[in-house]
Amino acid sequence: MEEQVFAEVDRFIGETIVAEDEALRGALEAAEAAGLPSIQVSPPQGKLLQLLVRLVGAKQILEFGTLGGYSAILMARALSPGGRLITLEAKAGYAEVARRSIDRAGVGDRVEVRVGPALEALPALEQEEAGPFDLVFIDADKVNTPNYFAWALDHTRPGGLIIADNVVRKGTLGDPTDPDEATKAQRRLHEMLAAEPRVDATTIQTVGVKGYDGFLIALVEQA
Ligand code: SAH
Ligand code: DHB
Ligand code: MG
């Protein structure tokens, strides 16, 4: 019953202040047709990402976890002129679907999709001296969120943002006895940040079409 209310409110927000256009609907249809799971950010969450991209005036964005390209399209649209987004996806089939949807959305010139496990993509980014990034969105395999965060912290400019999706996990984040490895990783990330002077961060719990979860937002401090 509550879940239904959350979804209804997301629908109302979608009908009023957060519009989903043809290209975004097309990306979701393509993802569904190809059998991708429907786990992209919700439209209100996606709009928050866009607002954050605009607030930091992001020109360089790194995303962990492309899926069908939904969040990548949203963030690419909010980039400052001349900006670029690199998105990392483990599954070649997903990356292909994303590539096509990103091109159809008209932001293909600004977005690079790299295929392979994200941890394996990082040395190449390092070598190319990609970044420093203005915003990093971590949304791939949840057990690696702390690893991605640690790398992001070394490659995000002061004043930039690191955002991690799915850290609350139906409230299991608050349970020190929860045995799930993905949950344990989010707890470890929070404990890591408690002792990390380079960021100022918070976690916001969310409800909506995707149920109960939440995201962490970290501002990288000036040196
Ligand atoms: N950011 C997307 C949703 C991503 S869902 C959006 O909101 O539209 C999580 C994605 O991470 C899935 O596509 C999954 O295949 C991918 N993934 C899982 N493990 C990964 C890994 N080790 N490296 C890169 N991507 C991974
Ligand atoms: C899953 C992944 C996500 O990024 C998300 O927002 C929801 C669910 C998943 O892997 O199940
Ligand atoms: Mg997610």
Task: Give residue-wise pLDDT tens across range 79-88.
Answer: 999 999 999 9
Compute, in angstroms, the gap from residue 63 CA to the centroid of ligand 3.
11
Q: CA 44, CA 16: separation in Å to the nearest integer? A: 11
85 in Cβ contact with 79 (< 8 Å)? yes
Q: CA 139, CA 145: separation in Å to the nearest integer? A: 8
The candidate with the shortest Cα–Cα distance to 157, out of 108, 121, 198, is: 198
Ligand nearest the Cα of residue 120 is 1
Q: In terms of DSSP bridges, do strands 213-220 and 156-164 run parallel, antiparallel, or are they unpaired? A: antiparallel
Residue nearest to atom 3 of ligand 1 (CA): 40
Which residue bears the tokens 């997301």? 10
- pLDDT in the model for residue 36: 98
Residue nearest to atom 13 of ligand 1 (CA): 67
State the average pLDDT for the chain: 97
- 161-197, pLDDT tens digit by residue? 999 999 999 999 999 999 999 999 999 999 999 999 9
- pLDDT in the model for residue 146: 98
- pLDDT in the model for residue 2: 87
List, in sequence order, every beta strand (DSSP E) within 51-140: 60-64, 84-89, 111-115, 133-138
43 lines ligand 1 (CB under 6 A): no
Q: pTM surpassing 0.95?
A: yes
91 lines ligand 1 (CB under 6 A): yes
Is residue 217 predicted with pLDDT exceeding 90?
yes
Q: CA 96, CA 91: separation in Å to the nearest integer? A: 9
87 lines ligand 1 (CB under 6 A): no
The candidate with the shortest Cα–Cα distance to 128, out of 71, 67, 86, 95, is: 86
Cβ-proximal residues to 145 (8 Å cutoff; 6+ apart), any chain: 138, 164, 166, 167, 185, 186, 189
Compute, in angstroms, the gap from residue 113 CA to the centroid of ligand 3.
17
Percent over 90 (pLDDT), the chain: 97
List, in sequence order, every beta strand (DSSP E) within the chain: 60-64, 84-89, 111-115, 133-138, 156-164, 199-206, 213-220
63 lines ligand 2 (CB under 6 A): no
Compute, in angstroms, the gap from residue 214 CA to the centroid of ligand 3.
9
166 lines ligand 2 (CB under 6 A): yes
Compute, in angstroms, the gap from residue 217 CA to the centroid of ligand 3.
14
Q: Give the pLDDT band of residue 222 (cuts 50, 70, 90).
A: confident
Is residue 1 predicted with pLDDT exceeding 80?
no
Q: CA 39, CA 221: separation in Å to the nearest integer? A: 31
